[in-house]
Amino acid sequence: MFVCWCGSNIAATVDVEAVTEAVRTEPGVVVATNSQYMCSEGWQSSIRNAVAEHKLTGIVVCACSPRMHEPTFRKAAAAAGMNPYMVEIANIREQCSWIHKDKPEATEKAIILARAAVAKLNLDKPLTAGESPVTKRALVIGGGIAGIQTALDIADAGYEVDIVEKSPTIGGKMAMLDKTFPTLDCSACILTPKMVDAAAAEKISLYTYSEVESVKGFVGNFTVEIRKHARSVNSELCTGCGVCMEKCPSKKTKSEFNQGLSNRSAIYIPFAQAIPNVPVIDREACIKFQTGKCGVCEKVCTAKAVDYEQQDEIVTKQYGAIVAATGFNPIKLDNFDEFAYSQSPDVITSLEFERLCNAAGPTKGHVVRPSDHEEPKTIVFVQCVGSRSTVDCGKTYCSKICCMYTAKHAMLLREKYPGTEVYVFYIDVRTPGKSFDEFYRRAVEEYNVHYVKGMVGKVAPEDGHLRVQASDLIADKQIIIDADLVVLAPAIEPDPSARALGTMLTASMDTNDFFTEAHPKLRPVESPTAGIFLSGVCQGPKDIPDTVAQAGAAASKVIGLLSKDKLIGNPCVAECNEPLCNGCSACELVCPYGAITYEEKPVFDHGVRETRRVASVNEALCQGCGACTVTCPSGAMDLKGFTNLQIMAEVDAICR
Amino acid sequence: MPIDEKGTFRPKIVAFCCNWCSYAGADLAGSSRLNYPADIKIIRVPCSCRVNPLFMLRAFQRGADGVIMCGCHPGDCHYTSGNYFARRRMTLLFGMLDYLGIEKGRTRVEWVSAAEGQKFAGTMNQFAETVKSLGECRRIEDLRCKESVG
Amino acid sequence: MLKLSISKTGELFAELSAARALYLPVEGGGQTTFSRYTPEADVRLDVLNTARSVKDFFLPQTEDIVAFKRAGKKISIIEDRASDEPFAVFGVRACDARSLDVMDRVFLSDPVDTFYKGRRENGVVISLACSEPAETCFCGVFGIDSAEPQGDVVASIVGDTLCWEAKTPAGEKLTETVKDVFSPASAEDEAAAEAQKKTTREIMRQLPLAGLKIDNWGSDELLEKFNSPIWGKLYQGCIGCGTCTYVCPTCQCYDIQDFDTGHGVKRFRCWDSCMYSDFTLMAHGNPRTSQLERFRQRFMHKLVYFPANNDGMFSCVGCGRCVAKCPISMNIAKVIRALEVRTNG
Amino acid sequence: MQRIRGMMRDRAAEMLRSGSVSKVLGWEKGEFAYDETPAIFTSADELCSDNELGGLVYDGFSSAMLSKYLINATKKDKEGKAPKALVFLKPCDSYSFAHLLKERKVERENVYAVGVECRGMLDIEKIRLKGAKSIKSVEESGDSVNVSSFTKDYTFPRGEVLLEKCVTCKGLDFKYCDEVIGGGNEINWNRLDRFAGVEMIEEMTPEERFNFWRGELSRCIRCNACRNACPVCSCNKCVFDNTDSGVQSKANADSFEENMFHIIRAFHVAGRCTDCGECSRVCPRNIPLQLLNRKFIKDIDALYGEYQAGEDIEQKSPLTDYQFGDAEPSVIYKRGGGV
C-alpha cells in the first residue's frame, strides 16, 4: 500500500498519514507507506525495493486518477518482477482531495476508497496479455475509388493487398460520372490513371468478377474464401482486341454501365477503359449458353481465350486486415409513382443524366430526351427523392452528394445549352465543403439556374411533355412547369452485398445497412470488430474528396496494423467458465466484436461429464466491455480484471 | 442511521462510472475543483454495460442509500453499443424496483461525457440531495449488514 | 378431560398467549399456516395441513449459530444464538405431532443438538384430533391414529365443544395456567368424543391411500429397493425443486453457511434439500450426480435408511403435504405403490 | 378430451412403433383424479396401458409443462447421438419449446412436436377453496366441473376453477409444432387481461406496493420450484446455487434475500419469459410470481415494442437488442406515485 501526497494536491485535504495507518491493518496489507510524489523515478525505485523486500504480490497506490498514472505504476510493478495487472489505484486526488474541503471528511473517504482498492486487489489474478502474429496482407472489398485508393496507399507502404470487385471491372460509380464538383474535372481523367496504377502495382492483386464467400479468423489472422466467377474468357490468353464483342450476335442486353440507356453484347467489357481489359460472357444473354448453338466468339478469337467450360473458382487466402469499400447504389424508384419514373422515359435519374452528358456515353455527350432524341428546352431537377424522407420506400438520412451534383448538372446544361430553362426543386441546399457554396452560388448567379424551394408533388406525362406540379414555399404558391426532361436525385443506399458481408465480417451495421464505425468521432474508419476497416460510402454517404480522404485514413490504419509483427491483446477480456455456460447465445448476440463463438466441448463439473455447446471467447477480438457478463444469467461469463466478485468486493468495502 | 456530528444524515451512495466517459468526467470535475458530497464513492467499470443489476442490489444490501450509474452518451459508447444495453437493463430494473415499492429516487442513470465535469458534479450534487431527502434506505436492506456486530 | 364451548376459544387463546408466544393455524394469502396469535387472527381449526409444518418451531428454516467479528487483523468469536423463550403451538395434527418423534431421534440422540433441544424444552405441543381427513392423508399407514394424536395436550373438536386433555407434565403445567376457562367434561361428552373417533377411523380406512403397503419396506429391503429399475421411471418428472422437503415435517437436513456482513461473518444454518444438485457437494464433487440418485435418496432415506437406524421408525408421517404440493404431482405415495411389490420377485 | 387422448395415444404409439421417435413425453395418471405426472414413455404398450398407474392421459389436470424435459430427453448419449422425442405441447408450452430452440437448449431435429388442444387447465386448489373436501373424482362436462367427494358432490362453473395462468391465457396459437391434435384457437372461457394484475399493483401507492410485495415475498420458502419449473431458467448452475458467484444463498436468511432472489429470477428471464405461468402454478406458497415476470413483459412491450418470447425464434430478444432512440431510465420517474 503506497499513499501519495501529490505534493499538497492530496496532502492538503487528506491526512495521508491517517490513511496509511488505517489501511495498514486491512487483510493482505503487508506494508503501508506514503511519499511526496509516487510517480517520481525515485519513488518508483522504492516501490521496486519494497516488492523485493516484502515479496509483494500486489500493490495499491492511493494517488491520482488511474487514467493518469496506471501505466506508470504497472510498468514499475513489471520492472520489479511483479505481474503488472496486480496493481490497483485508489483515486484520492480527482475524486477526493480536489473536490472536498473538509479534511476529516476527505480523509475518511480516502480511507474507504483505499479499502475498496485493497478489496479488489485481493481478488486480482495475474494476467498475461495474449499475443498473435499478423499476416502482412490486406484485403479490400470493393474496387471503386474508395477501394482503389485504399489499396494504392497500402501497397505504397510495401504491403500486399488484394482487391475483390464483384463486377467485371474496377472503377465503380466514379467511372460512370462525367464531371466532378466543384472543380468540374473530368471524372475519367482523374480516375483512370488510378485504375491503371492499381492494375500495374506489383503489390496489388485484382480479383474482378469475384465475391467474398466466407471470412474466418480474427484481427491479424483472417482466412477468406474468394469466389472467382467464371468469366468464360481466359484472362491469361485474352489480348483485349475486342473482335469477339463486335462479332457477337446477341447485342440486345441493356448496358449496366450506361444505366440501361444503351445496349451491349453478351460478351462484353463494361466500358473502354475497363480494367482488366478482358471481356466476360453474360451467360444469361449468350446464345451459346442458352441454346448451345453459336460459338461465334470462340471462332473469332485468335488468342483462343474463350472458354465455355470455365467454372467458378474458390481462392483461399490469408489476410491481416480487411477493408470494406462496398460503395452504394441509387435507390430504386419504382415506388415513387408521383415522379412517373416508370411511366416516362424522359424522367431519368441523375446517374442516367451523367451518362447522357458523357462524351463516351450513349449519346456521345449530347443531352437529348431518351424518348425522341430531341434536345430538351425545359429541364426540371428534383432533389431529395427518397432522402430525408419519412415514407417507407425512402431513407431518413441526407444522401449528402445530391445538392452538389445537381448544381453541377444544372450548370453544365446551362453552359452547353444556353437556351434551356433549368429548374431545381429542393428542400434545403446543403453546401458544407470547400468551395461548395461558391459553386452553388455560381449556378444561381452566373448560370441563372432557377432554384425553387419546395417539393414536386407530381410529374404527369402529357402529350410529349412532362407536367410538373410543385409548390414554391418561398412565394407560397403552386406552380406548374411543362418540362421536357425531369432529372431525379435519388437517395443513395449501401450496396446490397454489404449486409451479407457485414454478417461474415461480424462487423456491425446500422438500420440502414451502413457499416458502423468503432467510434463516431474518434475512430471513424474502423469497424468495432478489430481488423475490419471502412472506406467510402459503405460507412455513410460521402462525396469523392471525403471518400478518398477516408480511403487514405483506412489505409493508414491498415498499415499501422500490418507493420506490427504480433498483436498484444488487452488481458482484461471476457472469459467463459465452461461448466457454468448453458450455451444460450445471449452473450454472442450482445458482443459488438463478434468475439464469442460456440463450440461443442466436453465439460466436467463436480462429477458430471458431458459434451455440450459452450461459449468461447476469442481474446484477440474481445475488447473487454463486459456486455456479455451481464447478459449471461448463469454468471459463466466474467471479465478479467473487473470480475463480478471484484466489483462486489468494492461495493462491499464502500458500503461497509 | 449514520449521522455526522452536525446531526445531518450522511447517506451512502455508490456511483458506477464507465472508464471512458463518466470516470473521465469525474476526473475533470476533480481537476476543475467542482465540489460534490464525499458520501459518493465511485467504482470504475470499463463500460456501463458491465454493471450488473446484482451489483446494484448488492449495494443496497450492504447499506447503500442510493446507487447511480453513469456512462457515455448514447451514440458515444467506446464499445459502440454497451450503453444501449445498459440503458435497457437499468430501465427495466428501476421499473421493477419501483414496482416493489422501493423509492425511485434511490436509483439513477446519467450519461456524462469526458468533457462534462460540470455535469458530473451537478448530477452528483442533485442525486445526493435526493437520496438525503429520502433518508436511510429501509425498503431494500439487509439487517445483518447493518448491525455493528457480526 | 376438560371442555370448552367452541365460541369461547378466543378466551383460551388469549389466556394461553398471555404467558408465552402462542402459534396456531391462521389464514392469510389464501393459505393457512402457523402464525402467532393475535385477537384479529383468522384462526382456522378446520384446516388439516398448514402450509408449513410444525417443524418450523423446532428447526427453523434459518438460524444463527455464531458470529465472527474482524477488527484489523484480529478476529473475535461472538455467540449470537437467540435465547429460548417458552411457546405453545396449538392445532398440531396427529401427523405433525408424530413428526417430532422422528426429529427427536435425529437431534436429541448423541450428539445432542442444543438448539433443537432448547426449543423442544420450551415448546408445548397442543395437538388437535382430526375428524375430516382428506384424500391425501395416509398417516394410518405409519400407525398414526389421526383421531387420537400424541402431544403434551390433546384437543379435539366434537360438535360445538373443544375437548382438552393434558398428556404430559408439560401439558399439565400449561393446563394449570388456563384451567379457569374450562369446565370438566361429562360422561356424555366423553362418549361423543369416542364416537367421533370411531367415525374418523372409519373414514381413514376408506381413503384412497389407506391401502398403501409399507410392510415390505424397511432395512431388509435395502439392496433390492435401491437397485430397482422402477426408480428410473419414477424420477423422470422430478424437476429437482425442494418443495417436498421443505413442506415435509420430518425432512431435517440442513446446511451450515457463512455470510460475510462486511463487518464480520455470521454463521447460520438453513434447511437443505437432498433434491438439490448442490446437496452434499464436496470439493471433489457430488456423490449423487444425477436427479435419479437424488430422487431415490429421499425416499430410500425415509423408508429404508431411517428405519434401519431407528428401530423401524419410518421418517414419513403421511401428512400428505408433498402429495398436495409437488409441482409435478410425484410423491411418496406413488413411490410406495410403485415399489410395493418385492422387487426381487 | 377422451377423444383427444385417443388421438394422442394413436399418434404417439404409431411413432414409437415405427421407430420415428424413441420416446414420448406425455402425462401419466396419478393416485387421484387430479395428480397427473409428466412421464416418458418408451414403448407403445406402456403408452396405451390403462393400469391403475400408467398410460398416457390428457385432461384438465395435464397442466405440467413438458417443454423443459426436452433438454434432458434429447441429450446426446455417450456415442454423441441424440435421441428423438415426441412431445405433446399445449399452446403455451409450444412458446416455451420455441424459446428452448432459440437458445439452442434443444435442437429442432431431435423433437417431434405435437400440439394438443387446450381448454384451460383446472386448479385443484381453487376447487378445494370452494369447499370440496376428500375429493374422489373430477369430471368436466361442458362448462361445468363435477366434483365428487367421499361425503358430497359439487358442481362448479369451469371458468371459476381454472388455473390462474389459464384465466389470463395469452392465446391458443401453436408455435413450431409438427402437427396439431384437436384444434380450435378460440378461447371460450371468460379470459381476463393478462396485465390487469400488474396494472392493479402499479396503481397502488409505493407504500402499498411495498407492503403488498413484502406480504407476498415473505412467504417464500426458497424451494426453487418457480425456478426449476421455468422453461427459461435452464442454467446448468444457477447463480444462487453457485458458491463462487458471490450471491449464493440457499435460504432467505433476511428479507433482502427474498427480494433479491425474486428480482433477479425475474430479471434473468426478462425478454425471455414466454409468460407460461408455471412459476405461479407451482409455488407451494401461492406467491403470484407471474406478476413479476409480467411487469417486465409489460414494460418491454410499452418501451421497446411488443415482444412475445417464443413467437419467432429468429427475432432478437429485447435485452440483446437496442435502438438509438430507446427510452431513458428516467422514464420511470415520470410514472405516477412516489419519489
Residues A489 and A395 in one domain: yes
Same domain, A375 and A257: no
Q: How far apart are alpha carbons A360 and A364 in whole angstroms?
A: 5
Do residues A220 and A133 lie in contact, with contact meaning Cβ atoms separated by under 8 Å?
Answer: yes
Domain co-membership, A462 together with A502: no
Instruction: Give yes or no for a cis peptide into D38 (omega within 30° of 0).
Output: no
Other CB atoms within 10 A of residue C176 CB: 10
Q: Is the pTM of this model over 0.90?
A: no
Same structural domain, A319 and A177: yes
User: Considering only CB atoms, which chain B residues are within 8 Å of D264?
Assistant: 53-54, 57
| pLDDT value at residue B148 | 56
Predicted confidence (pLDDT) per residue in C31-79, tens digit: 999 999 999 999 999 999 999 999 999 999 999 999 999 887 788 999 8
* Residue A128 within a domain: no
Domain boundary (A515, A530, A562) is at A562
| Nearest-CA distance D327 → chain B (Å) | 8
Q: Give the bridge partners for A477, in sequence order.
A: A472
Q: What is the pLDDT of residue A218?
A: 84
Tell me: pLDDT of C343 over 50: no
Q: How far is C334 from chain B (nearest CA, A)?
A: 40
Q: Give CA C71 to chain center in angstroms.
A: 42
State the pLDDT at residue B5: 67
Residue of B nearest to A639 (CA): B50
Taking contacts as CB-CB distances below 8 angstroms, the residues of chain D near A580 are 235-237, 242
Q: With CB atoms and an 8 Å threshold, state whether D332 touches B91.
A: yes
Domain end, chosen from A462, A478, A493, is at A493
- Domain assignment of residue A478, yes or no: yes
pLDDT given for residue C287 in this prediction: 87
Give the pLDDT of residue A608: 77
Please provide the distance, in angstroms rounded to a whole number, between the alpha carbons at the two ends of chain D.
Answer: 52
Same domain flag for A255 and A141: no
Angle at Cα A632 formed by Cα A631 and Cα A635, nearest 5°?
135
What is the model's pLDDT at position C29? 80
Q: What is the CATH number of the domain that holds A104?
A: 3.40.50
Q: What is the mean pLDDT of residues C329-341?
A: 88
Q: Which of A493, A520, A551 is the last residue of a domain?
A: A493
Instruction: Classify residue A613: in a domain, yes or no.
Output: yes
Residues in A closer than 8 angstroms to D234, CB to CB, are 582, 584
Least CA distance to C285: which residue of chain A?
A: A606
Answer yes or no: do A337 and A466 share one domain: yes
Task: Note whether A633 contacts D: Cβ–Cβ < 8 A.
Answer: yes
Contact criterion met (CB < 8 Å) for D80 and A611 = yes
Helices (H) and strands (E) in chain D, counts: 12, 9
Domain shared by A487 and A506, yes or no = no
Closest CA to D320 of B92, C54, A54: B92
Cβ-based contacts of A25 with chain C (< 8 Å):
72-73
Whether A339 and A481 map to the same domain: the answer is: yes
pLDDT value for D51: 65
* Type of residue found at C226: F
CA dist D35 to A286, D32, D63, Å? 73, 6, 10
Confirm or reject contact between A549 and chain D (CB < 8 A): no
The model's confidence at residue D337, banded by pLDDT at 50, 70 and 90, is low
The answer for C 168-207 residues in CB contact with D (under 8 A) is 203, 206-207
Q: Count of domains in chain A? A: 5
Q: For residue D234, give the nearest of A582, A585, A605 by CB distance.
A: A582
Residues of chain C in contact with residue B148, where contact means CB-CB under 8 angstroms, are 263
Cross-sheet strand order for the sheet of C264-271: C74-78, C62-71, C264-271, C254-260
- On chain D, the residues whose CB falls within 8 A of the CB of B58 are 246-247
Q: CB atoms < 10 A from the CB of B149, how many?
A: 12
Same domain, A322 and A339: no
| Range of lowest pLDDT (A148-157, A469-478, C107-116, C280-289) | C280-289
Q: Is the ipTM of this complex over 0.90?
A: yes
Evaluate whether residue A649 is within a structural domain: no
Per-residue model confidence (pLDDT) at position C345: 39
Scan for cell 375437548, then name that residue: C163
Rounded to 10°, the helix A544-562/A145-156 angle is: 40
Instruction: Find chain C residues with C-beta within 8 A of B63's C-beta.
Output: 262
Inform me whether the C-beta atom of residue D192 falls under 8 Å from chain C C-beta atoms.
no
Complete DSSP assignment for C230-254: HHHHHGGG----SHHHHH-SS---E
Answer left, alpha or beta for residue D184, where phi above 0 means left and psi between -120 and 50 means alpha.
Answer: left
CB D171 within 8 A of CB D187: yes
pLDDT band at C283 (very low <50, low <70, confident <90, very high): confident
Pairing of strands A465-472, A137-141: unpaired
Per-residue pLDDT tens over the stretch D213-260: 999 999 999 999 999 999 999 998 999 999 899 999 999 999 999 999
Selected residue of A111, A123, A606 to mutate for chain C interface (largest C Cβ count, 10 A): A606
Joined grid coordinates for residue C306: 431411517
Instruction: Print the domain residue range for A183.
Output: 137-229+312-327+495-562
Residue A487's Cβ-side half-sphere holds a number of Cα atoms within 13 Å equal to 28
Q: How far is A8 from chain C, CA to nearest CA, in Å? A: 29
CA distance B44 to chain A (A): 9
Classify residue A99: in a domain, yes or no. Answer: yes
Q: What pLDDT score does C344 carry?
A: 43
Within this chain, do residues A24 and A173 fall inside the same structural domain, yes or no?
Answer: no
pLDDT digit string, tens, across residues C166-214: 999 999 999 999 999 999 999 999 999 999 999 999 989 988 899 898 8
Host H or E run for residue A132: strand A131-133
Flag whether A129 is in a domain: no
* Band of residue D188 on the pLDDT scale cut at 50, 70, 90: confident
With CA atoms as reference, the chain D residue closest to B111 would be: D328
Report the candidate in D37, D93, D96 with the shortest Cα–Cα distance to residue D61.
D37
Does residue A434 sit within a domain? yes
Which residues in chain D have Cβ-Cβ distances shorter than 8 Å to C323?
A: 31, 35
Distance CA(A289)–CA(A292), nearest Å, equals 6
pLDDT in tens, C20-33: 999 999 998 889 99
Contact criterion met (CB < 8 Å) for D326 and B95: no
pLDDT digits (tens, 9 = 90+) for A2-21: 887 778 888 889 999 999 99
**Cα(A15)–Cα(A108) distance, rounded to whole angstroms?**
9
Closest CA to A593 of A626, A544, A568: A626
Q: Are residues A164 and A94 located together in one domain of the fold?
A: no
Q: What is the structure's pLDDT at C105? A: 96
Low-confidence spans in chain A with pLDDT less than 50 = none
Cell numbers 503506497 correspond to what residue? A2
In angstroms, the separation between the Cα of residue D269 and the nearest Cα of chain A is 8
Model confidence over D144-162: pLDDT tens digits?
999 998 778 999 999 999 9
Same domain, A287 and A434: no
The CATH number of the domain holding residue A147 is 3.50.50.60
pLDDT at B91 (0 to 100): 96
What are the tens digits of pLDDT across the range A148-203?
A: 999 999 999 999 999 999 999 999 999 999 999 999 999 999 999 999 999 999 99
Residue whose cell numbers read 404431482: C329
Q: Tell me, yes or no, whether A222 lies in a domain.
A: yes
Q: How confident is the model at residue B150 (pLDDT cuts 50, 70, 90)?
A: very low
Cβ contacts below 8 Å, chain A against chain C, sum to: 21
CB contact under 8 A, D229 and C271: no
- pLDDT > 70? residue B147: no
